[in-house]
């Protein structure tokens, strides 16, 4: 149980285009999801907290107009990288907290490797 599905796993896009990444909780409801960005051999940097039915909370330094987050249902959050540039190339990971925190803690998606060319 407590599976988070993230798609796509890899995407290559041209500079200036937008890319949408989906994060779905498959067998539980997630009122809150988290979006992270990870550079090679670095830690996961929290970008924003996605709240179902309300605006996302962005971490300092993260441009909310560039990284659009939508959490329209209890099982789906999306991150759209708008007008992507090569410096946006990174590994993006979503996470959600299952109800049974003692058993599952936080569940992570498998990540999306974004390459902007």
Partner 1 sequence: SQQGEEDPQALSIQEGENATMNCSYKTSINNLQWYRQNSGRGLVHLILIRSNEREKHSGRLRVTLDTSKKSSSLLITASRAADTASYFCSGGSYIPTFGRGTSLIVHP
Residues of this chain that bind partner 1 (CB under 8 A): 4, 6, 34, 41-44, 46, 49, 91, 93, 95, 101-102, 104-111, 113
Looking at beta carbons only, is 59 or 63 nearer to partner 1?
59
Reduced to 3 states (helix: H, G, I; strand: E, B; else coil), residue 93 is strand
Query: Terminal CA-to-CA distance of the chain, rounded, Å?
Result: 37
Minimum separation from the CB atom of position 83 to partner 1 (A):
25
Closest distance between partner 1 and the C-beta of residue 77, in Å?
14
Nearer to partner 1, 44 or 62 (CB): 44
Query: Which of 82/89 has CB closer to partner 1?
Result: 89
Smallest distance, partner 1 to C-beta of residue 46, A:
6
Closer of 44 and 68 to partner 1 (Cβ): 44
Angle, alpha carbons 38-16-34 (nearest 5°):
30
Q: Are the C-beta atoms of 81 and 18 separated by less than 8 Å?
A: yes
* H-only helix segments in 42-113: 101-104
For the four alpha carbons of 62, 44, 92 and 34, in that order, the dihedral sign comes to negative
Helix (H, G, I), strand (E, B) or coil at 23: strand
CB of 44 to partner 1, least distance (A): 5
């Amino acid at each position: 149980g407590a599976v988070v599905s993230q798609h796509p796993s890899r995407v290559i896009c041209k500079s200036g285009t937008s890319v949408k990444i989906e994060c779905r909780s498959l067998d539980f409801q997630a009122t809150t999801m988290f979006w992270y960005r990870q550079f090679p051999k670095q830690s996961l940097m929290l970008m924003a907290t996605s709240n179902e039915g309300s605006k996302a909370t962005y971490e300092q330094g993260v441009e909310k107009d560039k990284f659009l987050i939508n959490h329209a249902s209890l099982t789906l959050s999306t991150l759209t990288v708008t007008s992507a540039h090569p410096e946006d190339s990174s590994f993006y990971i979503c996470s959600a907290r299952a109800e049974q925190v003692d058993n599952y803690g936080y569940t992570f998606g498998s990540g999306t490797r974004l390459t902007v060319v």
